[in-house]
C-alpha cells in the first residue's frame, strides 16, 4: 500500500525527533571512542576525528542546507539528507578499518539537517516570540536525546560492542525518514528564485550586527558543551575510574540542566524579552565552570562536583539557544533557512575548534582543570556576544527586522 506524502505542517513531535537525531548522531557513540581506537589499533586522537571532523563537515553542510531549503523547500531537503544519513550509518556499522569508518562517519553529518530545517520551519509558521516559545518546547524535549544517548550508547557498548550504536543509527535514520515522509508538509511558501540568488542575499545578514551577536553567542554556548563532551571521558576515566555506562550517564547529565532551561524559556518567552532570558542563561553558564575550578583548586573536586557544575552550563544553554535562534531568524524572515544554516555552521565550526583544542589540551593530570577552563572561556565569550547584541539593539532600535 502506498503511503501518501504529508501535505500539512509538521507536528512538534516530528520536529523534535528530527532535531534529536542530529544530536544523537554526534554523541550516542562517544563512550565507545576508546574501544573504536583499540579495535582499529589507532591513537585515541585519530578516532576522535569522528567527532572533530564530523563537526567540521557539518559546518560546511549547514551553509548549504539553509539556502537549499529556502530555494527548494524544507521537505525535500529533509528527506534527501535523511536518506544519506541512513545509508552512511550502514557503512559505519560494517567498517573494516579506521579510514572506511571515518569516511562513512563524515557522510553521517547529513544528520545536521535536523538542526537547521526544523528551526526554519518553526519560523515559517510563527512570529518571533511564539517561535521562541515553540523552539523552547522542541529543544526541551530534544534534550532527552543528548541526555539518554550517551547513557544508552555506553550500555550498548558494554553489551554488544561499539558497532551496535551504528546499527541503531541505521534504524533511527530509517524511522525518522518514514516519519518525515508522512508528517512534514512543506512550510516554505516563499521560495527564492535560485540557490545562488539566495546566497547573494547573505550580505543582508552579514551587515546585521544583531545577526552576528546572536550567532556568536549561540556558537560559544554550544562550543562549551562540545568541550565538555570531549573532555569528560578523560576526566571520568583518569580521575574517577568510571566505566563506559557511568561515563555516558555523566555526559548526559549536563543536558538535564539544558532541558530544565528550555522548559523555563518556553514558559517565559512570551512575557520576558529574548535578550533578558539570554543574559540570564549566559550568567549561569559562567557561574558553573567558575565554581568547578574553585572546588578543584581547593582540592574539593569529585565526580559529583565535576558533572554537577556542568549542569549550570546546560541550564544556561537552555535559556539561550531557542531565544537566540528565534531572534536571528526574525531579522530577515525570508532568509530564515539561510540564517539558521549560517548560525549553525558558525556554531559547529567553533565546536570543532574547541573540540580539537580540548583533545590537545586535556591530559590525565590536568583533565578537570583544562575542561573547566575551556568551558569558562567559551561562556565568557558568549556573554560578551549577547552584551554586544543588547548594545546593537539600543544603538539601532529601528533596524529592519529587529527581533524585539
DSSP for 309-325, please give it. Answer: HHHHHHHHHHHHHHHHH
More confident residue, 132 or 268: 268
- Express each pLDDT in 53-93 by its tens digit: 887 788 788 778 877 887 788 888 889 999 999 999 999 99
DSSP at 242 = -
3-state secondary structure of 332: coil
Across 157-181, average pLDDT: 91
pLDDT for residue 402: 42
Q: What is the mean pLDDT of the chain?
A: 81
Encode burial over 235-246: b for 16+ CB neighbours within 10 A, e otherwise. Answer: bbbbbbebebbb
What is the distance between the alpha carbons of residues 382 and 279, in angstroms, rounded to a whole number?
Answer: 10
Count how many residues are written for the chain: 404
- How much is the pTM? 0.70
User: Which range (22-31, 108-117, 172-181, 230-239) has the least confidence?
Assistant: 230-239
Give the closest residue to 351 by CA, choosing from 13, 130, 20, 22: 22
pLDDT for residue 336: 67
Residue position matching grid coordinates 563524515: 106
3-state secondary structure of 366: coil
pLDDT for residue 318: 86
Q: Are 111 and 55 in contact (CB under 8 A)?
A: no
- Express each pLDDT in 192-232 by its tens digit: 656 666 666 667 777 778 888 898 998 999 888 888 877 87
More confident residue, 299 or 119: 299
Cβ-in-10-Å burial (0-12, 13-18, 19+) of 300 comes to exposed
> Which positions ≥6 away from 52 have C-beta within 8 Å?
352, 355, 356, 359
More confident residue, 167 or 239: 167
Spell out the alpha helix ranges (H) of 74-208: 74-93, 98-107, 113-125, 128-142, 144-160, 163-183, 195-200, 202-206
Give the pLDDT band (50/70/90) at residue 103. very high
pLDDT for residue 147: 65
- Express each pLDDT in 322-375 by its tens digit: 888 878 777 776 666 677 777 777 877 787 788 878 878 877 788 788 888 999
Residue 113 has which C-alpha cell?
Answer: 539537517
Q: Are 354 and 271 in contact (CB under 8 A)?
A: no
User: Which range (127-131, 133-137, 241-245, 379-383) has the least confidence?
Assistant: 127-131
pLDDT for residue 140: 64
DSSP annotation string for 267-327: HHTTTS-HHHHHHHHHHHHHHHHHHHHHHHHTT---HHHHHHHHHHHHHHHHHHHHHHHHH
> Which positions ≥6 away from 155 have C-beta within 8 Å?
245, 248
SS (HEC) of 3-44: CCCCCCCCCHHHHHHHHHHHHHHHHCCHHHHHHHHHHHCCCH
Give the pLDDT band (50/70/90) at residue 247. confident
* CATH tag, 12-182+205-395: 1.20.1250.20
Amino acid at each position: 500500500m502506498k503511503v501518501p506524502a504529508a501535505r500539512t505542517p509538521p507536528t512538534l513531535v516530528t520536529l523534535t525527533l528530527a532535531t534529536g537525531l542530529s544530536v544523537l548522531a554526534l554523541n550516542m557513540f562517544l563512550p565507545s571512542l576508546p574501544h573504536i581506537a583499540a579495535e582499529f589499533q589507532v591513537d585515541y586522537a585519530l578516532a576522535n576525528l569522528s567527532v572533530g571532523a564530523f563537526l567540521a563537515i557539518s559546518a560546511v553542510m549547514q551553509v548549504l542546507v539553509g539556502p537549499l531549503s529556502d530555494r527548494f523547500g524544507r521537505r525535500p531537503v529533509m528527506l534527501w539528507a535523511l536518506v544519506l544519513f541512513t545509508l552512511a550509518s550502514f557503512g559505519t556499522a560494517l567498517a573494516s578499518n579506521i579510514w572506511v569508518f571515518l569516511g562513512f562517519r563524515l557522510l553521517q553529518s547529513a544528520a545536521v539537517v535536523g538542526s537547521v530545517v526544523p528551526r526554519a520551519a518553526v519560523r515559517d509558521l510563527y512570529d518571533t516570540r511564539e517561535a521562541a516559545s515553540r523552539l523552547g518546547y522542541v529543544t526541551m524535549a530534544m534534550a532527552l536525546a543528548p541526555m539518554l544517548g550517551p547513557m544508552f550508547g555506553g550500555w550498548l557498548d558494554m553489551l554488544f560492542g561499539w558497532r551496535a550504536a551504528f546499527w541503531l543509527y541505521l534504524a533511527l535514520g530509517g524511522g525518522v525518514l518514514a516519519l518525515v515522509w508522512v508528517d512534514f508538509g512543506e512550510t516554505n511558501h516563499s521560495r527564492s528564485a535560485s540557490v545562488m540568488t539566495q546566497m547573494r542575499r547573505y550580505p543582508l545578514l552579514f551587515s546585521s550586527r544583531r545577526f552576528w551577536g546572536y550567532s556568536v553567542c549561540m556558537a560559544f554556548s554550544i562550543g562549551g558543551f562540545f568541550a565538555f563532551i570531549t573532555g569528560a571521558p578523560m576526566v571520568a576515566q583518569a580521575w574517577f575510574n568510571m566505566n563506559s555506562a557511568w561515563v555516558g550517564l555523566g555526559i548526559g547529565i549536563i543536558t538535564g540542566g539544558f532541558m530544565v532551561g528550555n522548559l523555563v524559556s518556553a514558559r517565559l518567552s512570551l512575557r520576558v524579552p529574548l535578550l533578558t532570558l539570554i543574559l540570564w542563561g549566559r550568567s549561569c553558564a559562567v557561574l558553573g565552570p567558575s565554581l568547578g575550578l574553585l572546588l578543584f583548586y581547593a582540592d574539593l573536586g569529585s565526580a559529583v562536583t565535576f558533572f554537577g557544575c556542568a549542569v549550570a552550563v546546560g541550564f544556561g544553554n537552555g535559556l539561550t539557544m531557542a531565544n537566540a535562534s528565534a531572534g536571528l531568524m526574525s531579522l530577515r524572515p525570508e532568509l530564515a533557512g539561510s540564517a539558521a544554516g549560517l548560525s549553525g555552521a558558525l556554531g559547529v565550526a567553533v565546536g570543532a575548534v574547541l573540540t580539537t583544542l580540548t583533545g590537545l589540551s586535556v591530559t590525565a593530570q590536568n583533565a578537570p582543570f583544562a575542561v573547566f577552563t575551556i568551558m569558562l572561556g567559551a561562556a565568557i565569550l558568549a556573554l560578551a556576544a549577547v552584551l554586544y547584541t543588547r548594545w546593537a539593539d539600543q544603538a539601532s532600535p529601528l533596524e529592519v527586522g529587529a527581533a524585539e
